[in-house]
């Protein structure tokens, strides 16, 4: 698979129960960090990596994700009439012209592996990316997926983003064992979904960015329910490793776990402090709040 990836899959059919009651009507991917919904950060990262086809795996309650990427005729007309060209550009940039969005439905929530498999009719058998929008990755230089796509192309291999986590947290992640780590990457020799700390092969955790060989789809079709009774992407990757090289990659950048409330708060603070209009007032407010 020495091809450059063109297609990116966004599994967005989850329930987002950690953010109830907000997620009663707003999908968690639509929760904002400062002024953009989480999904937009992931979409921007995929486009920067070279993807031009975005596949959203949704469920019947997630109309707002499709609405968000649709053209907003009335709003555009109003902004145009009012001469608000900057805002017009902001809403048009949600999806650049050369990029197309495709929506597929995951009728039953059978797990992340199953969600990815739902994208097969659009992706076919070429290498592709998977991005979990809960994991917001921030980097001043090239985005995490761009770094991974470059490596995947150069090494003709699948690439999975990893990060060290405290051992007591292994039960929240896919955990990998690796060999021949050089620089930022090494070959994965084992991958396990959410192992208890006592049995985890390491404390190197999978983060929500994957560049995968199209071969994974056939393997996912035969993957039985695993951890939590769900069809796990991790188990599909374990099967892929028996046939092809899969690399772990320690990306450059900082990851915010926006699937948790504290992660979303941290991301909001960090992005506000980096925002050209908000940095100063945000800093002032935080100083005052901490002094109280
Ligand atoms: C999923 C994957 C897990 C990975 C994690 C990264 O788990 O199954 O392997 O480490 O994303 O965020 P989830 O957080 O959806 O339970």
pLDDT of residue 72: 83
Nearest atom, ligand 1, residue 134 CA? 12
Rounded average pLDDT per 10-residue block, the chain, 292 residues: 88 87 91 96 97 93 85 88 90 89 92 96 97 96 97 96 97 95 93 96 97 97 94 97 97 96 97 94 95 92
Buried b (16+ CB within 10 A) or exposed e, 186-207: bbbeebbbbbeeeebebbbbbb
CA nearest 163: which of 245, 253, 29, 233?
253
- Convert the pLDDT of each residue in 267-281 to its tens digit: 999 999 999 999 999
Nearest atom, ligand 1, residue 135 CA? 12
**Residue 76 alpha carbon to ligand 1 centre in Å:** 37
pLDDT of residue 133: 96
Give the residue, out of 173, 203, 225, 248, with the most ligand 1 atoms within 8 A of its beta carbon, to mutate for a pocket test: 173
Q: d(Cα 44, Cα 27) in Å, to the nearest integer?
A: 19
pLDDT of residue 2: 63
- The answer for residues whose C-beta is within 8 angstroms of residue 35's C-beta and 6 or more apart is none
Rg (CA), the chain: 19
User: To which CATH superfamily is domain 7-259 assigned?
Assistant: Spore Coat Polysaccharide Biosynthesis Protein SpsA; Chain A (3.90.550.10)
Q: Is the CB of 40 under 6 A from ligand 1?
A: no
**Residue 28 alpha carbon to ligand 1 centre in Å:** 15
Q: Is the CB of 8 under 6 A from ligand 1?
A: no
pLDDT of residue 64: 86
pLDDT of residue 1: 61
> Which stretches of 110-258 are assigned E, i.e. beta strand?
128-131, 135-138, 158-164, 174-182, 185-193, 204-212, 246-250, 254-257
Domain chopping of the chain, boundaries: 7-259
What values do phi and psi take at 223, rounded to 5?
A: -80, 125
Q: d(Cα 99, Cα 105) in Å, to the nearest integer?
A: 20
pTM for the full predicted model: 0.95
Q: Is the CB of 206 under 6 A from ligand 1?
A: yes
Q: Is the CB of 235 under 6 A from ligand 1?
A: no
Nearest atom, ligand 1, residue 232 CA? 8
pLDDT of residue 43: 98
- The answer for residues whose C-beta is within 8 angstroms of residue 125's C-beta and 6 or more apart is 214, 215, 217
Q: Is the CB of 208 under 6 A from ligand 1?
A: yes
- Tell the residue nearest (CA) to atom 15 of ligand 1: 112
pLDDT of residue 181: 86
Q: Is the CB of 205 under 6 A from ligand 1?
A: yes
Nearest atom, ligand 1, residue 228 CA? 16
Q: Which helix (H) or strand (E) holds 236?
A: helix 233-241
- Tell the residue nearest (CA) to atom 10 of ligand 1: 173
Q: Is the CB of 130 under 6 A from ligand 1?
A: no
Contact assessment for residue 54 and residue 42, using Cβ atoms and an 8 Å cutoff: no
């Amino acid at each position: 698979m020495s091809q450059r990836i063109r297609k990116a899959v966004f599994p967005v059919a989850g329930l987002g129960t950690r953010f109830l009651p907000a997620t009663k009507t707003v999908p968690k991917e639509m929760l904002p960090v400062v002024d953009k919904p989480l999904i937009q950060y992931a979409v921007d990262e995929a486009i920067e990596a070279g993807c031009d086809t975005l596949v959203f795996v949704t469920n019947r309650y997630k109309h707002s994700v499709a609405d968000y990427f649709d053209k907003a005729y009335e709003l555009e007309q109003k902004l145009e009439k009012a001469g608000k060209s900057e805002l017009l550009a902001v809403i048009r940039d949600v999806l650049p012209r050369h990029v197309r969005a495709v929506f597929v439905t995951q009728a039953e929530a059978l797990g992340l592996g199953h969600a990815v498999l739902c994208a097969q009719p659009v992706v076919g058998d070429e290498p592709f990316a998977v991005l979990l929008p809960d994991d917001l990755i921030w980097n001043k230089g090239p985005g995490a997926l761009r770094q991974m796509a470059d490596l995947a192309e150069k090494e003709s291999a699948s690439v999975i983003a990893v990060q060290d986590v405290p051992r007591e947290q292994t039960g929240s992640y896919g955990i990998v064992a690796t060999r021949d780590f050089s620089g930022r990457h090494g070959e994965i020799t084992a991958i396990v979904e959410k192992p208890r700390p006592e049995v985890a092969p390491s404390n190197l955790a999978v983060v929500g960015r994957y560049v995968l060989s199209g071969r994974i789809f056939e393997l996912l079709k035969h993957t039985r329910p695993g951890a939590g009774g769900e069809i796990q992407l991790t188990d599909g990757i374990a099967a892929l490793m028996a046939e092809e090289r899969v690399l772990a990659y320690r990306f450059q950048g900082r990851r915010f776990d926006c699937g948790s409330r504290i992660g979303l708060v941290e991301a909001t603070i960090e992005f506000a402090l980096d925002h050209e209009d908000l940095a100063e007032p945000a800093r002032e407010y935080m100083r005052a709040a901490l002094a109280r």
